[in-house]
Amino acid sequence: MKTADNSKMGEDFFKYLPSEIVVEILSRLPTRAAMACKCVCKPWLGLLATPEFVNSHMSRSVLGIAVETRSLSYETIEFVDELDLNFDEEHLWDVTLSFRLPFDGPFRSSANGVIFLRDFRRGDLILCNPITRDYIKLPRPRLTPPKVPDELDNFGFGVSRMTRQYKVVWIFSLVGHAQNPLLGTCSRNACQVYTVGTGSWRNVPFGMPLRFIGDQGGVLFNGNLHWTVAKKRRGIDRWICCFDLETEFFSTFSAPRPHGRGFDFSRSLCVLRDCLCLSDISKDGCVIIWLMKEDERSWTKIFVIPEIDRLSNNSGEKRLTGAIHIWPIRIFENGDALMEWEDGPLFYYSNKRKFLDYTIMSLGDCDPFTRTIMYASSFVSLKSFVMENVYSF
Protein backbone atom coordinates (compact mmCIF):
# COMPACT_ATOMS: atom_id res chain seq x y z
CA MET A 1 0.00 0.00 0.00
CA LYS A 2 2.83 2.33 0.85
CA THR A 3 4.46 1.60 -2.49
CA ALA A 4 1.26 2.50 -4.32
CA ASP A 5 0.99 5.78 -2.41
CA ASN A 6 4.57 6.69 -3.34
CA SER A 7 3.85 5.85 -6.96
CA LYS A 8 0.74 8.00 -6.92
CA MET A 9 2.66 10.88 -5.36
CA GLY A 10 5.35 10.55 -8.06
CA GLU A 11 2.79 10.74 -10.83
CA ASP A 12 1.13 13.80 -9.36
CA PHE A 13 4.31 15.52 -8.15
CA PHE A 14 4.48 18.10 -10.95
CA LYS A 15 0.70 18.36 -11.14
CA TYR A 16 0.44 19.99 -7.73
CA LEU A 17 3.64 22.05 -7.82
CA PRO A 18 3.12 25.82 -8.20
CA SER A 19 3.75 26.92 -11.76
CA GLU A 20 6.61 29.23 -10.75
CA ILE A 21 8.51 26.26 -9.32
CA VAL A 22 7.90 24.20 -12.47
CA VAL A 23 9.20 27.13 -14.54
CA GLU A 24 12.28 27.33 -12.34
CA ILE A 25 12.96 23.62 -12.84
CA LEU A 26 12.32 23.48 -16.58
CA SER A 27 14.28 26.66 -17.31
CA ARG A 28 17.42 24.96 -15.97
CA LEU A 29 17.24 22.21 -18.59
CA PRO A 30 19.44 22.26 -21.70
CA THR A 31 17.62 23.60 -24.74
CA ARG A 32 17.14 20.23 -26.41
CA ALA A 33 15.65 18.72 -23.22
CA ALA A 34 13.39 21.74 -22.70
CA MET A 35 12.12 21.39 -26.27
CA ALA A 36 11.18 17.78 -25.56
CA CYS A 37 9.16 18.91 -22.51
CA LYS A 38 6.67 20.57 -24.86
CA CYS A 39 5.46 17.09 -25.80
CA VAL A 40 4.87 15.94 -22.22
CA CYS A 41 1.46 17.53 -21.69
CA LYS A 42 -0.62 20.53 -22.71
CA PRO A 43 0.00 22.46 -19.44
CA TRP A 44 3.74 22.25 -20.04
CA LEU A 45 3.32 23.26 -23.68
CA GLY A 46 1.57 26.42 -22.52
CA LEU A 47 4.00 26.98 -19.67
CA LEU A 48 7.03 26.92 -21.97
CA ALA A 49 5.49 29.75 -24.01
CA THR A 50 5.03 32.12 -21.06
CA PRO A 51 7.28 35.17 -20.64
CA GLU A 52 8.32 33.85 -17.22
CA PHE A 53 9.80 30.67 -18.72
CA VAL A 54 11.23 32.40 -21.81
CA ASN A 55 13.06 35.03 -19.75
CA SER A 56 14.24 32.57 -17.10
CA HIS A 57 15.61 30.12 -19.67
CA MET A 58 17.20 32.91 -21.71
CA SER A 59 19.06 34.23 -18.66
CA ARG A 60 20.75 30.83 -18.35
CA SER A 61 21.36 30.21 -22.04
CA VAL A 62 25.01 29.55 -22.87
CA LEU A 63 26.60 31.67 -25.58
CA GLY A 64 28.05 29.81 -28.53
CA ILE A 65 28.03 29.93 -32.31
CA ALA A 66 25.73 28.91 -35.15
CA VAL A 67 27.32 27.90 -38.45
CA GLU A 68 26.10 26.53 -41.76
CA THR A 69 27.32 22.98 -42.34
CA ARG A 70 25.56 22.26 -45.62
CA SER A 71 23.00 24.05 -47.74
CA LEU A 72 20.12 25.13 -45.47
CA SER A 73 21.53 22.98 -42.63
CA TYR A 74 22.99 24.51 -39.47
CA GLU A 75 24.58 23.45 -36.22
CA THR A 76 24.97 25.27 -32.94
CA ILE A 77 27.75 24.81 -30.43
CA GLU A 78 27.93 26.11 -26.87
CA PHE A 79 31.19 27.24 -25.30
CA VAL A 80 32.89 26.16 -22.10
CA ASP A 81 35.69 28.01 -20.31
CA GLU A 82 38.33 25.80 -21.89
CA LEU A 83 38.31 23.13 -24.56
CA ASP A 84 39.79 19.80 -23.61
CA LEU A 85 41.63 19.16 -26.85
CA ASN A 86 43.92 16.31 -27.76
CA PHE A 87 46.13 17.55 -30.56
CA ASP A 88 47.09 13.99 -31.48
CA GLU A 89 43.52 13.10 -32.40
CA GLU A 90 40.85 14.74 -34.51
CA HIS A 91 38.30 16.51 -32.35
CA LEU A 92 34.72 17.14 -33.43
CA TRP A 93 32.52 19.82 -31.99
CA ASP A 94 30.02 18.86 -29.33
CA VAL A 95 26.97 19.95 -31.32
CA THR A 96 24.09 21.05 -29.10
CA LEU A 97 21.45 21.54 -31.80
CA SER A 98 21.00 20.90 -35.51
CA PHE A 99 18.28 22.46 -37.66
CA ARG A 100 17.26 23.28 -41.23
CA LEU A 101 15.73 26.49 -42.54
CA PRO A 102 13.33 26.80 -45.49
CA PHE A 103 15.13 29.77 -47.04
CA ASP A 104 18.60 30.39 -48.34
CA GLY A 105 20.61 33.35 -47.12
CA PRO A 106 23.66 34.00 -44.98
CA PHE A 107 23.20 34.73 -41.29
CA ARG A 108 23.73 38.37 -40.44
CA SER A 109 23.46 38.38 -36.65
CA SER A 110 21.33 37.20 -33.75
CA ALA A 111 19.86 38.62 -30.55
CA ASN A 112 18.18 36.65 -27.77
CA GLY A 113 18.02 33.55 -29.95
CA VAL A 114 16.35 35.36 -32.86
CA ILE A 115 18.40 35.14 -36.05
CA PHE A 116 18.44 37.89 -38.69
CA LEU A 117 19.31 36.93 -42.25
CA ARG A 118 18.97 38.32 -45.74
CA ASP A 119 17.89 36.14 -48.65
CA PHE A 120 19.89 37.56 -51.52
CA ARG A 121 17.99 35.70 -54.24
CA ARG A 122 14.60 37.04 -53.20
CA GLY A 123 15.75 40.16 -51.38
CA ASP A 124 13.80 39.17 -48.25
CA LEU A 125 14.78 40.28 -44.76
CA ILE A 126 13.94 37.47 -42.36
CA LEU A 127 13.79 36.98 -38.60
CA CYS A 128 13.55 33.41 -37.39
CA ASN A 129 13.88 31.34 -34.23
CA PRO A 130 14.96 27.75 -34.95
CA ILE A 131 13.88 26.67 -31.44
CA THR A 132 10.23 27.74 -31.81
CA ARG A 133 10.36 27.06 -35.58
CA ASP A 134 8.71 30.28 -36.65
CA TYR A 135 9.84 33.15 -38.85
CA ILE A 136 8.84 36.58 -40.14
CA LYS A 137 9.46 38.10 -43.54
CA LEU A 138 9.78 41.81 -42.90
CA PRO A 139 8.00 44.20 -45.26
CA ARG A 140 10.20 45.91 -47.82
CA PRO A 141 11.67 49.22 -46.64
CA ARG A 142 9.83 52.39 -47.62
CA LEU A 143 10.51 53.99 -50.98
CA THR A 144 13.59 56.19 -50.89
CA PRO A 145 15.52 58.43 -53.26
CA PRO A 146 17.99 56.63 -55.57
CA LYS A 147 20.76 54.96 -53.67
CA VAL A 148 23.97 53.03 -54.25
CA PRO A 149 23.83 49.31 -55.17
CA ASP A 150 22.53 46.88 -52.55
CA GLU A 151 25.98 45.46 -51.80
CA LEU A 152 26.88 48.80 -50.20
CA ASP A 153 23.89 48.74 -47.89
CA ASN A 154 24.46 47.82 -44.27
CA PHE A 155 22.13 46.28 -41.74
CA GLY A 156 22.06 45.78 -38.01
CA PHE A 157 19.77 43.89 -35.66
CA GLY A 158 19.44 44.06 -31.90
CA VAL A 159 17.36 44.65 -28.78
CA SER A 160 17.04 47.99 -26.98
CA ARG A 161 18.08 48.11 -23.33
CA MET A 162 15.02 49.56 -21.60
CA THR A 163 11.96 48.84 -23.73
CA ARG A 164 13.39 45.51 -24.98
CA GLN A 165 12.20 46.26 -28.49
CA TYR A 166 13.68 44.27 -31.36
CA LYS A 167 14.86 46.54 -34.18
CA VAL A 168 16.35 46.17 -37.64
CA VAL A 169 18.49 49.10 -38.80
CA TRP A 170 19.10 49.76 -42.50
CA ILE A 171 21.82 52.24 -43.51
CA PHE A 172 22.39 53.20 -47.13
CA SER A 173 24.15 55.90 -49.13
CA LEU A 174 22.33 58.31 -51.40
CA VAL A 175 23.72 58.79 -54.88
CA GLY A 176 24.41 62.15 -56.44
CA HIS A 177 26.78 63.34 -53.70
CA ALA A 178 30.49 63.95 -53.84
CA GLN A 179 32.79 60.97 -53.61
CA ASN A 180 36.20 60.92 -52.00
CA PRO A 181 38.73 59.05 -54.19
CA LEU A 182 40.60 57.85 -51.11
CA LEU A 183 37.58 56.61 -49.23
CA GLY A 184 35.60 55.39 -52.22
CA THR A 185 31.89 56.05 -51.85
CA CYS A 186 31.60 58.52 -49.00
CA SER A 187 28.33 60.23 -49.75
CA ARG A 188 25.54 61.28 -47.44
CA ASN A 189 24.02 58.37 -45.55
CA ALA A 190 20.38 57.73 -44.77
CA CYS A 191 18.82 55.38 -42.27
CA GLN A 192 15.54 53.56 -41.72
CA VAL A 193 14.55 51.55 -38.65
CA TYR A 194 12.03 48.75 -38.36
CA THR A 195 10.69 48.01 -34.88
CA VAL A 196 9.46 44.42 -34.88
CA GLY A 197 5.74 44.37 -34.19
CA THR A 198 4.91 47.72 -35.78
CA GLY A 199 4.70 46.60 -39.41
CA SER A 200 6.45 49.63 -40.91
CA TRP A 201 9.83 51.32 -41.45
CA ARG A 202 10.67 54.80 -40.15
CA ASN A 203 13.22 57.35 -41.32
CA VAL A 204 15.85 58.22 -38.72
CA PRO A 205 18.12 61.26 -39.20
CA PHE A 206 21.63 60.31 -40.23
CA GLY A 207 23.61 62.49 -42.60
CA MET A 208 27.23 61.94 -41.59
CA PRO A 209 29.57 61.37 -44.59
CA LEU A 210 30.91 57.99 -43.51
CA ARG A 211 32.01 54.96 -45.42
CA PHE A 212 30.92 51.71 -43.81
CA ILE A 213 33.73 49.19 -44.07
CA GLY A 214 32.68 45.76 -45.27
CA ASP A 215 29.29 44.11 -44.90
CA GLN A 216 29.56 42.56 -41.46
CA GLY A 217 26.51 44.38 -40.15
CA GLY A 218 26.19 46.09 -36.81
CA VAL A 219 27.78 44.38 -33.83
CA LEU A 220 25.42 44.46 -30.85
CA PHE A 221 26.92 45.43 -27.52
CA ASN A 222 25.20 46.90 -24.49
CA GLY A 223 22.09 47.94 -26.42
CA ASN A 224 24.04 49.63 -29.20
CA LEU A 225 24.96 48.60 -32.73
CA HIS A 226 28.53 49.25 -33.85
CA TRP A 227 30.16 49.43 -37.29
CA THR A 228 33.70 50.19 -38.40
CA VAL A 229 33.69 53.27 -40.64
CA ALA A 230 36.10 55.59 -42.37
CA LYS A 231 36.04 59.35 -42.43
CA LYS A 232 38.57 61.99 -43.36
CA ARG A 233 40.21 63.95 -40.60
CA ARG A 234 43.85 64.74 -41.32
CA GLY A 235 44.13 61.63 -43.41
CA ILE A 236 42.17 58.40 -43.39
CA ASP A 237 41.35 57.05 -39.96
CA ARG A 238 39.17 54.22 -38.81
CA TRP A 239 36.31 55.07 -36.49
CA ILE A 240 33.42 53.29 -34.80
CA CYS A 241 29.88 54.37 -35.64
CA CYS A 242 27.47 53.67 -32.80
CA PHE A 243 23.66 53.56 -32.95
CA ASP A 244 21.74 53.58 -29.66
CA LEU A 245 18.73 51.32 -30.17
CA GLU A 246 16.86 53.02 -27.32
CA THR A 247 17.32 56.70 -28.25
CA GLU A 248 17.95 56.05 -31.98
CA PHE A 249 20.85 58.52 -32.04
CA PHE A 250 24.10 58.03 -33.94
CA SER A 251 27.55 58.88 -32.60
CA THR A 252 31.16 58.11 -33.51
CA PHE A 253 34.34 57.52 -31.56
CA SER A 254 37.88 56.68 -32.56
CA ALA A 255 39.28 53.20 -33.08
CA PRO A 256 42.92 52.07 -33.06
CA ARG A 257 44.60 53.39 -36.17
CA PRO A 258 44.97 50.64 -38.80
CA HIS A 259 48.55 49.60 -39.52
CA GLY A 260 47.70 46.35 -41.23
CA ARG A 261 47.72 44.84 -44.68
CA GLY A 262 44.66 46.63 -45.94
CA PHE A 263 42.23 49.28 -44.89
CA ASP A 264 39.00 47.35 -45.46
CA PHE A 265 38.64 45.01 -42.50
CA SER A 266 35.29 43.40 -43.23
CA ARG A 267 34.70 41.70 -39.89
CA SER A 268 37.09 43.27 -37.41
CA LEU A 269 34.55 44.13 -34.69
CA CYS A 270 33.42 41.59 -32.11
CA VAL A 271 32.47 41.18 -28.46
CA LEU A 272 34.93 39.35 -26.20
CA ARG A 273 34.90 39.08 -22.41
CA ASP A 274 31.83 41.32 -22.29
CA CYS A 275 33.67 44.14 -24.02
CA LEU A 276 33.75 45.57 -27.52
CA CYS A 277 36.88 44.43 -29.31
CA LEU A 278 38.58 45.05 -32.63
CA SER A 279 41.11 42.86 -34.46
CA ASP A 280 43.92 43.68 -36.88
CA ILE A 281 46.53 41.79 -38.82
CA SER A 282 49.70 43.85 -38.88
CA LYS A 283 52.04 44.13 -41.85
CA ASP A 284 54.40 41.61 -40.26
CA GLY A 285 51.57 39.09 -39.86
CA CYS A 286 50.71 39.47 -36.18
CA VAL A 287 47.08 39.17 -35.11
CA ILE A 288 46.31 41.97 -32.65
CA ILE A 289 43.11 42.26 -30.63
CA TRP A 290 42.15 45.55 -28.97
CA LEU A 291 39.65 45.80 -26.11
CA MET A 292 37.67 48.96 -25.43
CA LYS A 293 36.95 50.20 -21.93
CA GLU A 294 33.45 51.57 -22.34
CA ASP A 295 33.69 54.19 -19.58
CA GLU A 296 36.67 55.86 -21.27
CA ARG A 297 36.27 54.57 -24.83
CA SER A 298 39.97 53.88 -24.73
CA TRP A 299 41.59 50.86 -26.37
CA THR A 300 43.96 48.34 -24.79
CA LYS A 301 45.92 45.66 -26.59
CA ILE A 302 44.93 42.38 -24.93
CA PHE A 303 45.98 39.59 -27.27
CA VAL A 304 48.66 38.97 -29.89
CA ILE A 305 49.38 35.97 -32.10
CA PRO A 306 52.91 36.57 -33.40
CA GLU A 307 53.65 36.19 -37.13
CA ILE A 308 50.66 34.06 -37.98
CA ASP A 309 51.92 33.53 -41.55
CA ARG A 310 54.76 31.43 -40.19
CA LEU A 311 52.55 29.24 -38.05
CA SER A 312 51.56 25.84 -39.37
CA ASN A 313 48.84 23.44 -38.41
CA ASN A 314 49.58 19.96 -37.14
CA SER A 315 50.06 18.70 -40.70
CA GLY A 316 52.64 21.40 -41.44
CA GLU A 317 50.33 23.26 -43.84
CA LYS A 318 50.26 27.06 -43.87
CA ARG A 319 46.84 28.43 -44.79
CA LEU A 320 46.78 32.01 -43.55
CA THR A 321 49.44 33.49 -45.79
CA GLY A 322 48.30 36.88 -47.02
CA ALA A 323 45.14 36.98 -44.92
CA ILE A 324 43.79 40.45 -44.23
CA HIS A 325 40.90 39.50 -41.97
CA ILE A 326 40.61 37.28 -38.94
CA TRP A 327 37.51 37.42 -36.78
CA PRO A 328 38.04 36.40 -33.12
CA ILE A 329 35.21 34.26 -31.76
CA ARG A 330 36.50 33.28 -28.33
CA ILE A 331 39.63 33.71 -26.22
CA PHE A 332 39.77 31.00 -23.57
CA GLU A 333 41.14 31.26 -20.06
CA ASN A 334 44.29 29.33 -20.99
CA GLY A 335 45.16 31.86 -23.72
CA ASP A 336 43.99 29.71 -26.63
CA ALA A 337 41.79 31.33 -29.26
CA LEU A 338 39.06 30.27 -31.65
CA MET A 339 38.86 32.40 -34.78
CA GLU A 340 37.43 32.56 -38.28
CA TRP A 341 39.53 33.34 -41.31
CA GLU A 342 38.24 35.43 -44.25
CA ASP A 343 34.56 34.52 -43.66
CA GLY A 344 35.47 30.88 -44.07
CA PRO A 345 37.29 28.16 -42.14
CA LEU A 346 37.42 28.11 -38.37
CA PHE A 347 40.80 27.58 -36.77
CA TYR A 348 42.11 27.10 -33.26
CA TYR A 349 45.30 28.68 -31.95
CA SER A 350 47.12 26.89 -29.15
CA ASN A 351 48.89 29.45 -26.98
CA LYS A 352 50.99 26.75 -25.31
CA ARG A 353 52.13 24.97 -28.45
CA LYS A 354 52.19 28.10 -30.66
CA PHE A 355 50.51 26.57 -33.66
CA LEU A 356 47.22 26.60 -35.52
CA ASP A 357 44.78 23.78 -36.09
CA TYR A 358 42.05 23.65 -38.69
CA THR A 359 40.87 20.03 -38.47
CA ILE A 360 40.67 19.71 -34.70
CA MET A 361 37.59 21.93 -34.68
CA SER A 362 36.05 20.20 -37.70
CA LEU A 363 32.37 20.57 -38.43
CA GLY A 364 32.27 17.64 -40.83
CA ASP A 365 30.94 18.72 -44.22
CA CYS A 366 30.92 22.40 -43.36
CA ASP A 367 30.99 24.71 -46.35
CA PRO A 368 34.45 26.35 -46.26
CA PHE A 369 32.96 29.75 -47.16
CA THR A 370 30.14 30.48 -44.79
CA ARG A 371 29.36 32.98 -42.08
CA THR A 372 29.52 32.09 -38.42
CA ILE A 373 27.51 34.13 -35.91
CA MET A 374 27.41 34.33 -32.15
CA TYR A 375 24.28 32.58 -30.94
CA ALA A 376 22.52 31.70 -27.68
CA SER A 377 19.28 29.70 -27.94
CA SER A 378 15.97 30.96 -26.56
CA PHE A 379 12.24 30.23 -26.66
CA VAL A 380 11.27 33.76 -27.76
CA SER A 381 8.18 33.34 -29.93
CA LEU A 382 7.80 35.64 -32.90
CA LYS A 383 4.04 35.18 -32.54
CA SER A 384 4.21 37.53 -29.56
CA PHE A 385 4.84 40.44 -31.95
CA VAL A 386 1.61 42.02 -33.12
CA MET A 387 1.23 43.33 -36.66
CA GLU A 388 3.50 40.57 -38.01
CA ASN A 389 2.69 37.63 -40.25
CA VAL A 390 4.40 34.69 -38.59
CA TYR A 391 5.03 31.43 -40.44
CA SER A 392 6.06 28.03 -39.14
CA PHE A 393 8.58 25.62 -40.63
Residue pLDDT, tens place only, 87-102: 444 444 678 888 988 8
Highest mean pLDDT among 146-150, 165-169, 170-174, 176-180: 165-169
Cα–Cα dist 74/372, whole Å: 10
- Can you name the residues that pair with 305 across neighbouring β-strands? 287
Mean pLDDT over the full length of the chain: 79
> Any bridge partners for residue 156, and if so which?
169
Per-residue confidence (pLDDT) for residue 341, from 0 to 100: 75
Q: Check residue 122 and give its pLDDT.
A: 78
- Between CA 374 and CA 113 the distance in angstroms is 10
- The answer on pLDDT for 368 being more than 60 is no
For position 55, what pLDDT does the model report? Answer: 95
Query: What's the 3-state SS for the chain?
Result: CHHHHHHHHHHCCCCCCCHHHHHHHHCCCCHHHHHHHCCCCHHHHHHCCCHHHHHHHHHHCCCEEEEEEECCEEEEEECCCCCCCCCCCCCECCEEEEEECCCCCCEEEEECCEEEEEECCCCEEEEEECCCCEEEECCCCCCCCCECCHHHCEEEEEECCCCCCEEEEEEEEECCCCCECCCECCCCEEEEEEECCCCCEEEECCCCCCEECCCCCCEEECCEEEEEEEEECCCEEEEEEEEECCCCCEEEEECCCCCECCCCCCCCEEEECCEEEEEEEECCCCEEEEEEECCCCEEEEEEEECCHHHCCCCCCCCCCCCCCCEEEEEECCCCCEEEEECCCCEEEEECCCCEEECCCCECCCCCCCCCEEEECCCCCCHHHCCCCCEEEC
Q: pLDDT tens digit string along 224-263?
A: 999 988 876 555 677 899 999 999 999 999 888 766 655 5
pLDDT for position 89:
43
What is the predicted pLDDT for the residue at 169? 96
Position 358 pLDDT exceeds 60:
yes
For residue 97, the model assigns a pLDDT of 87
The residue with greater pLDDT, 324 or 189, is 189
pLDDT at 129 over 80: yes
Taking residues 168-192, report their average pLDDT.
67
Q: What is the pTM of this model?
A: 0.85
Residues of the chain above pLDDT 90, percent: 34
Q: Which is higher by pLDDT, 239 or 267?
A: 239
Pairwise pLDDT comparison (116 vs 6), residue with the higher score: 116
State residue 381's pLDDT score. 94
Give yes or no for a contact between 324 and 260, defined as CB atoms under 8 angstroms apart: yes
Beta bridge partner(s), residue 118: 125
More confident residue, 316 or 329: 329
pLDDT at 1: 45
User: Which neighbouring-strand residues pair with 95?
Assistant: 77
